[in-house]
Amino acid sequence: MARRGSQCRLKALATYIDVSKRNIPRPRNGGSWSESEYWAAVRSALRHKFRYWKPMQQKKLEARRKSQSDNKRLKWEYQCADCKGWYAGKEVQIDHIVECGSLKCADDLAGFLERLTPEDPDAFQVLCKPCHHKRTQAYRARLRASEK
C-alpha cells in the first residue's frame, strides 16, 4: 500500500513539473532549476546563514530601549532610523545601507558576500517594515531605470 501512495505522489509531482515547465533551459538540480532559480536559492541561503551577523545585531541593540507600551509582554522596542517611530522587535528589520546587490552568477559572489557581511555596525540601520519596504522598492526602481 505504501508503494501505491508513493507512486501517486510521484505522478502528482510529475504533473506539477510538466505544468510549470516553460521554454526555459533548466540545467541545474537534475534539470529542474533554471539558472535564476539556482542563484535565488544561493542568495536566500546566504542571507539566512548571516542573519545573526554580530555587527548587524550590535546595530539592533543600539536602536533598542525598554518598552514604554502598556503591553507587559513587550520587553524591548526599537527605533526606526527613517521615521523615528518605536516598534516591537517583530515589526523591524535590519537594512544594509549599501545594498547587497545582485547575485546572478559566480562572478557576483565575492562582491555580494562583501556587501552582505560588512564588519562595521554603521553599515546597517534598523527600519520598521513599511520604511524598509519603501527603501527596497525605491532601490528596485533605480535598478530598472538604469537597465533601460
Cell of 108: 557576483
Each residue's pLDDT tens digit, 64-73: 999 999 999 9
Contact assessment for residue 128 and residue 91, using Cβ atoms and an 8 Å cutoff: yes
Rg over alpha carbons for the chain, rounded to the nearest Å, is: 21
**pTM for this predicted structure:** 0.77
Q: Which residues pair with 78 in a beta bridge?
A: 64, 87
User: Is a pLDDT exceeding 50 seen at residue 139?
Assistant: yes
Across-strand partners of 96? 124
If one compares 74 and 18, the residue with the highest pLDDT of the two is 74
Q: Reduced to 3 states, what is the DSSP secondary structure of residue 28?
A: strand
Largest CA distance in the chain: 61
CA distance 42 to 36: 10
Q: Is the pLDDT of residue 6 over 60?
A: no
Beta bridge partners of 127: 93
Q: Average per-residue pLDDT in the chain?
A: 89
